[in-house]
Structure 1
Amino acid sequence: MWDVERVRRTLAELDGRLAELSERADAVALDAVRTLVDVYGEALARVTALIEKAAPEVSDALADDELVGHLLLVHDLHPHEPETRIRRALADLRPRIVAELTDYADDGVTVAIEGVARSGVSDATETVEAVVRAVAPEVTDVRVRHRSEPAFVPLTAVRAR
């Protein structure tokens, strides 16, 4: 079985190849890929419907798998709504990045990040945006707000002399 890194690397390579195919405007090849995706999507929809009837608890395990979850997203079959997926993905960033979903609408989200050093704000923002877009591709607008930490003022600076 593929490990998580291999899944991520392969999906990234596939995205690149599909982009190249699209840039070349190879209509026949793109149509073949679309048809294949549609057929596999229908088969996957049937499998998930059977699983939901027979063992509903299995749906969570499938959704949590890196590759299967991705396929469920591609085919709009993921059992969890976008808000749940986003909250879980943000929780997975801890302790490196502490992020909280503060506003959710059908097409946009706001995420608050706290405890990030100023030098790391850009990287944290990019990471959060990428994570949200990966688990909720239907979200078109990701806003990231930074909650600043109160400045540390040493006691000696405020003490009367």
Structure 2
Amino acid sequence: MDELRQAEARVEQLLAQLSTAPRVGEQAEELVRLLMRLYGEGLARVVGLLPAETVRTLAADDLVGSLLILHDLHPRGTAERVADALEQVRPFLGTHTDSIELAGIDASGRATVRLRGGGCGGCASGAVEQAVERAVRAVAPEVTGVRVEQLLAQRTLLQIGSRPPADAPASGARP
């Protein structure tokens, strides 16, 4: 898997270098787009020939799953994958939240994640937001952004008033 990550990094590096020479950069981008379209069409045909269960099994693999996402062939939708990722990150949030849910994904691709309550008074620590964003981006790279909303839990306050007047009958006492 390290070789794949290295290849991915090298592709990004080469594209960045090629973009400094406008004409060459444009040609390189066109080449990459055409190759992506060609490989995407081939992958779509392969996926179309496979049973749904096999496609789901393949989609569970990190590399194959990301290729299926890239070519809009993943058997599970973005919202479903994000909701599952939030369930996976829930145990790591500890007392920072009572619940976590996907509030929605807007037309621009931005996901809104809602955190409710928490033992720490609904704090929106940077670490919590980063953990949520990493979890979402790991399963849904097509998401353009992640917004974390903190909603404070409604807490019932104990009201302590003054004592009843001395001449008031006690509760349950008969006059």
* Structure-2-length-normalised TM-score: 0.64
Residue 70 of structure 2 corresponds to which residue in structure 1? 74
CA change 1:22–1:106 in 2 (3 A) is farther
Residue 126 of structure 1 corresponds to which residue in structure 2? 130
* Structure-1-length-normalised TM-score: 0.69
Taking the aligned partners of 2:88 and 2:26, their CA distance within structure 1 comes to 39
Amino acid at match of 2:30: D
Shift of 1:140: 3.5
Q: Select between 78-87 and 102-111 the one with higher mean Cα deviation.
A: 102-111
Residue 17 of structure 1 corresponds to which residue in structure 2? 13
Residue 102 of structure 2 corresponds to which residue in structure 1? 101
Taking the aligned partners of 1:93 and 1:7, their CA distance within structure 2 comes to 28
| Structure 2 residue runs without a partner (length 5+) | 94-98, 161-175
Contact 1:60 1:79 in 2 (8 A): yes
1:44-73 alpha-carbon deviations (Å, 9 max, x no partner): 11111111xxx2111211222111111011
Percent of matched pairs sharing the same residue: 36
Taking the aligned partners of 1:15 and 1:144, their CA distance within structure 2 comes to 32
1:112-143 alpha-carbon deviations (Å, 9 max, x no partner): 23548688711221232243244334443532
Taking the aligned partners of 1:37 and 1:72, their CA distance within structure 2 comes to 12
Alignment RMSD: 3.5
SS in 1 for 2:79: helix
SS in 2 for 1:28: helix
CA change 1:79–1:21 in 2 (3 A) is farther
- The counterpart of 1:136, out of the listed 134, 140, 150, is 140
Q: Do residues 84 (structure 1) and 61 (structure 2) align?
A: no
SS in 1 for 2:73: coil
Residue 169 of structure 2 corresponds to which residue in structure 1? none
Contact 2:102 2:112 in 1 (8 A): yes
Q: Do residues 111 (structure 1) and 107 (structure 2) align?
A: no
Taking the aligned partners of 2:85 and 2:44, their CA distance within structure 1 comes to 24
Contact 1:7 1:66 in 2 (8 A): no
Contact 2:55 2:75 in 1 (8 A): yes
Paired residue total: 148
Taking the aligned partners of 1:10 and 1:149, their CA distance within structure 2 comes to 45
| Structure 1 residue runs without a partner (length 5+) | 152-157
CA change 1:74–1:23 in 2 (3 A) is same
SS in 2 for 1:76: coil
Shift of 1:102: 2.5
Amino acid at match of 1:36: L
